[in-house]
A and B are shown apart, each in its own frame.
Chain A
Amino acid sequence: MIDKNVISQSPTRLQRTADIIFRFICNTSAWLTLLLVVFIIFKIAVTAFPAVKHYGTGFLTGTTWDSQTGEHGILPEIWGTLFTSLLAILAGTIFGVSAAIFLSEGFLGQFIFSILETCKLEIRPLWNKLPERCEDVLKNLIELLAAIPSVVYGLWGLFVVIPLIRPACNWLNMKLGWIPFFSTTLSGPGVLPAVIVLSIMILPTITAISRDALAAVPPKLRMAAYGMGATRWETILAVILPVAARGIVGAVILAFGRALGETMALAMLVGNANRISVSLFSPANTLAALLANNFPEAGPSEVSVLMYAALVLLAITLVVNIIGSLILQKASAGMEGGR
């Protein structure tokens, strides 16, 4: 016999109070998250305030960093951050978008089929699932690139990439030294190894987001293009890429934000030299690497200066990230009508 009173009873006072308290706790957590971001910015800004007052905007255009004389400027670091990130974005976009096209257009299946066909290996029962499976494996492999900690990339760059590219770089410097990009020799850490490792690190971001953007293109557009007799690549270049362009641009900007803030690989590979140069082989420095190298030994007077540099890095990455997120938001909103 079911007791009707238990089932149909209204919540007890205890339950109602618990409800209110729990709702309040959830609300507080949400506020905490929001306040955390505000507090981080506030804290960095307040600690940086003495240096901001002392150095003013001259800090951004100064080129020397000398704790002895108290002369500080971060123009070389700003230049190094932008230079390495832009180069890494260039390489990362080419590789990342290609991989996204490769993954979303079913080329892998075609590739595997053609290999199997030439080998006369046609395994019928697995035939249809094969491309999908392989695409999943490849997707996971590219995502694995993102799982490797940046300090491991730094180690790899130091002991694998630098010895590998040094002979080629020095040959380029000898033969083509009149080109500004090759104007110095690579004697160890430098811009190029840093850029190579950085572009590998941002590739998964670009590939994952662009792949989503490509997959969100309404299939009818593709069908229409094929129906008009376009070849596969004409369809990709003239229809699919332009439609997905917003999403891809968003991906590139987010990856740019990540490249600007990347620390360890750059601190290990970029050379920490306070100079402005367009040469790919000369050592340089970035804002994040400057913080990583100087904070552990900073005296009380230098902390405020470093906080100022952190504030500049924060401002640059915040602006880039917010622009990227807004573009992606618009891109996915624009795609919804096409379904």
Chain B
Amino acid sequence: MDIWNPKLKTKPSPEAVLNIFEGVDFSELEKPLLRPRTLMNQLLIALVTVITLAALVPLFSVVVMLLLRGGRNLSLAVFTQLPPSPMEEGGGFGNAILGTLFMVSIGSIISVPIGVLSAVYLAQSRIESRLANAVRFAAKVLTGFPSILAGVFAYGALVLTLGGYSAVAGGVALSILMLPTVILTSEEAIRMVPSKIKEAAIGMGATNTQLIWMVLLPTALPGILTGVMLAIARAAGETAPLLFTALFSNYWLGSAGHIDIMQPTASLAVLIYNFAGMPFENQVNLAWTAALVLVLMVLVTNLIGQFFSSRQIRQ
């Protein structure tokens, strides 16, 4: 009797079920732990577990060191004072925080409009569009672009032609690094907009522009903001593109309420780099505190981005 037949009306008798397993050696199916195959299995599980946990050790070490060495010096003065000169005690990095914020803003002002509009073009283009594929490819190439080369480019294009290190050159270098993140995440977000909403708008006679401004962009806004936040977080932590575009400065950006954007500008990341190599205890401690502040800034920006991404409407 075929007991597995689903059309069978009557329940098979227990004997019939047992009969099926006649001749099966159950001991063959059980796996003692010491058999080579099972042993290998368990050993590899243990190995992978240990390796994965070991990969997290550096993260904890970095966080603990930041809190211990950086947290020790954390005070209000650090945010309001200027970097100390060698052998001087105290001091802070207020100008570097402002410089970082300022240059990241310049980077955002350049990269966000271009990035979002390119993303609109990509999301609205046909699949076989050559230009769209080329732009997507260019964005991917830029994602893996070494950050120092953005600095080299800004040096060649701006520092040499404008005749000096400036916040603008730093901001332009950062915008090159932000652009691909903005493009790729915004395109993803615009494509995520449910096609029903899109078709409803087209059905009501919306023009392309109305569709984009009144339907696609508002619906995709959380996703786009996620991308912008990720890009800002990345740019805020970048050092290499600023090293020889914005250089560093021991003074405030401009004076008496008037901002000078053509001057060398301080940034947190470059301050950490400069102070880490100094033989003075005070400077090294300030570098750790600046690192703590920088990591907190980057993490908060990332968290804001994640918050937006949880609000994205998905198809």
**Hey, which bits of chain A sit against chain B, CB under 8 A?**
7-8, 10-11, 15-16, 18-19, 22-23, 25-34, 36-37, 40, 43-44, 47, 94-96, 98-99, 101-103, 107, 110-111, 138, 141-142, 144-145, 147-156, 158-160, 200, 203, 231-234, 254, 257-258, 260-264, 267-268, 288, 291-292, 295-296, 298, 303, 306-307, 310, 313-314, 317-318, 321-322, 324-325
Contacts and interface: CB of A to CB of B under 8 A. Distances in A.
Interface in B141-168: 141-142, 144-153, 155-157, 160
Nearest to B35: A231
B298 to A, nearest CB: 6
B207 A15 contact: yes
Given A36-B176, A37-B142, A310-B149, A151 B48 contact: no
B294 interface: yes
B93 interface: no
20 contacts: A29-B118, A32-B118, A33-B115, A34-B138, A40-B149, A43-B156, A98-B48, A138-B56, A148-B295, A154-B273, A155-B272, A155-B276, A160-B61, A267-B273, A288-B240, A292-B240, A296-B244, A303-B155, A306-B152, A325-B137
Interface of B: 31, 37-38, 40-41, 44-45, 47-49, 51-52, 54-56, 58-59, 61-62, 65-66, 69, 113-115, 117-118, 120-122, 124, 131-132, 134-135, 137-142, 144-153, 155-157, 160, 176, 179, 183, 204-205, 207-210, 212, 233, 236-240, 243-244, 247, 269, 272-273, 276-277, 284, 287-288, 291, 294-295, 298-299, 302
B269 A151 contact: yes
A288 B238 CA distance: 14
Given A154-B273, A155-B287, A288-B240, A149 B294 contact: yes
A33 B122 CA distance: 12
Nearest to B288: A155
Contacts of B291: 151-152, 155
Contact of A44 (B144, B156, B204): B156
Contacts of A307: 152, 156
Contacts of A44: 149, 152-153, 156
Given A33-B135, A107-B49, A145-B58, A263 B146 contact: yes
Counting from the closest, the 3 A-B pairs by CB-CB distance are A261-B146, A149-B237, A29-B117
Given A141-B56, A263-B147, A101 B114 contact: no
Contact of B238 (A10, A149, A232, A322): A149
Contacts of B45: 107, 110, 232-233
Contacts of A30: 117-118, 121-122, 131-132, 135
B49 A254 contact: no
B49 A147 contact: no
Given A156-B61, A261-B145, A264-B239, 7 more contacts: A29-B114, A47-B160, A95-B52, A149-B239, A200-B58, A291-B151, A298-B244
A313 to B, nearest CB: 6
A329 B114 CA distance: 26
A113 to B, nearest CB: 13
A28 B244 CA distance: 30
Nearest to A264: B239
A295 B152 contact: yes
B149 A261 contact: yes
Contacts of B47: 98
Nearest to B49: A111
A227 B22 CA distance: 20
Contacts of A8: 205
Contact of A148 (B38, B48, B62, B160): B62
Contact of A268 (B54, B205, B236, B276): B276
B144 A257 contact: yes
Given A257-B144, A263-B148, A149 B269 contact: yes
A102 B52 contact: yes
B31 to A, nearest CB: 8
A233 B40 contact: yes
B131 to A, nearest CB: 6
Nearest to A144: B59
Nearest to A324: B144
Nearest to B241: A263
A292 B55 contact: no
Contacts of B66: 152
Given A37-B138, A44-B153, A15 B209 contact: yes
Contact of A296 (B49, B69, B137, B247): B247
A107 B153 contact: no
B243 A19 contact: no
A68 to B, nearest CB: 21
B278 to A, nearest CB: 11
Nearest to A47: B156
A232 to B, nearest CB: 6
A16 to B, nearest CB: 7
Given A40-B153, A47-B156, A98 B52 contact: yes
B37 A234 contact: yes
Contact of A95 (B55, B147, B160): B55
A102 B212 CA distance: 42
B298 A147 contact: yes
A99 B55 contact: yes
Tell which of B149, B208, B272, B276 has the most Cβ of chain A within 10 Å.
B149
B273 A268 contact: yes
A25 to B, nearest CB: 6
Contacts of A314: 146, 149
Tell which of B134, B146, B155 has the most Cβ of chain A within 10 Å.
B146
Contact of A15 (B44, B144, B210): B210
